[in-house]
Amino acid sequence: MPQPSIPISAFDSDILRNAFIKSVIEDHVPEHRWRELASDFIRDLTGSEDVDADLLEWIVRK
């Protein structure tokens, strides 16, 4: 999978993961939808349809 066109800093990655966790908790998102939700967060941040698989795995890990 291609890397996103806009590099994501460690700071932005941390903010992204915290926002994801907060959204999962507040919206009661079931685990089978986590990857889809995290992908949407990444796409919104980067403005690209490409999603870094390693970043996605890091965001959704427990």
Q: Is residue 45 in some structural domain?
A: yes
Q: Is residue 2 in some structural domain?
A: no
Distance set, CA 59 to CA 8, 19 (Å)? 13, 10
Domain that holds residue 21: 10-60
pTM given for the model = 0.85
> Nearest CA to 58 among 45, 39, 44, 43?
39
Q: Is residue 44 in some structural domain?
A: yes
Amino acid identity of residue 19, one-letter, is A
Cβ neighbors of 41 (< 8 A, separation 6 or more) are: 16, 19, 20, 23, 59
- The mean pLDDT value for 2-30 works out to 89
Report the mean per-residue pLDDT for the chain.
92
Q: Is residue 3 in some structural domain?
A: no
- The mean pLDDT value for 27-44 works out to 97
Residue 4 pLDDT greater than 50, yes or no: no
Q: How many domains does the chain have?
A: 1
In the chain, count H helices and then E strands.
3, 0
- The mean pLDDT value for 9-37 works out to 97
